[in-house]
Structure 1
Amino acid sequence: MTQRKRMSNTQSSSQSKRASGPAATQEEEDDQTFTQPSTTQVQRGLEKLTPAQVDQKTAEVVQFFLVKDQKKIPVRRADLVKHVVKEYRNIYPEIMKRAARIFDQVFGLKMIEIDAKNHMYILINKLETVEGASPIANPTNPKMGLLFVILSVIFMKGGVVGENLIWKTLKNLKVDVGERHEEFGDVKKVVTDEFVRQR
């Protein structure tokens, strides 16, 4: 009887220790349970999906990276698999390869792994500055950054998007169309008038 009590106390204390651990422990466990699929598994996974499905999931990964990059937060593989890749985890390497290609060819960015143990990624600018050119002497136009975000959304959605999606995306980036922005001024006018005129 005494031995049973001791065993149940030991079990309940170990369970409460596990339950009271930080939320990060759950994410670490999620990442440890994820195993990189083999080339054969990826090929089999791709055979079950349409190219449009793979492109859509790749676009979602690219968008996830861009939002995190905007906030200067590294992307953890565990978060990526859990919140974006989800049921497509069997083709994870292919999605990452395609996303890296998009960052390289479309955005001039390179996706690098900064922590191999925890699988954390960041984006870095691949474009080199002209030798001797001062960044202060050539300031970037803030409106070009806004245009870049809008064109990125259009590209990721296959070339056609509704106006509401553009406004929602900008709002997520803390650029409210209804308010005057300190850098862009009247955002709605810039997008619907100025950018349209420039084609």
Structure 2
Amino acid sequence: MTEKKKADNITWHESKVNKNDRRKLNKHTSAVLWFTGLSGSGKSTLAVEVERKLNERGIHTYILDGDNIRHGLNKDLGFSPEDRSENIRRIGEVTKLFVDAGIMTLTAFISPYHEERQQVRELLNDLEFIEIYVKCSLEAAEIRDPKGLYKKARNGEIKNFTGIDAPYEAPKHPELIVETDQLSLEDSVKQVIEFLERKGYIYL
């Protein structure tokens, strides 16, 4: 494969409005809530409901969902290890921009590899990356199988499927673990909101 040539003669232009200015305007801080877990664990469902709760409290938010992003920004990527890595690299750069814009950003990606999640963490300042492990057993995820993907993977119709023929590296030290195969959606959302309150990301 021919290596892509990096752009030359580029210069970073500083804005006269910075991240703290935008946060003051929004009247809240900004960070990334990085929901990671197996397909079918409930990442997107949880992110959507958490966003709704935050919106009700006047917090500026945006969700970056794995499937949605693959309809646009990352539609040229497949599911090989290399493409998965590039998928997360791009999302990491996008989340950095959203945090700089002063927005509470929620991402719902399987993001199966520890190294890639760590690289995103290192793009951001301390306390701006909140890794939320949406913990769900493979058995429970397969029973749910909302998109029918596990069945296709078991039948050999889908290759490199996380949990079947591709690995998932569970977070070692996430900021929060939400066991969606043990908790109701309501209690899962409550756990996330209470964490954000307790850590001072949002106020009572």
With structure 2 as the length reference, what TM-score do the two structures score? 0.27
Bigger relative contact order, structure 1 or 2 (CA pairs below 8 A, ≥6 apart): 2
Tell me which protein shows more helix as a share of its residues: 1
Going by fraction, where is strand more abundant, 1 or 2? 2
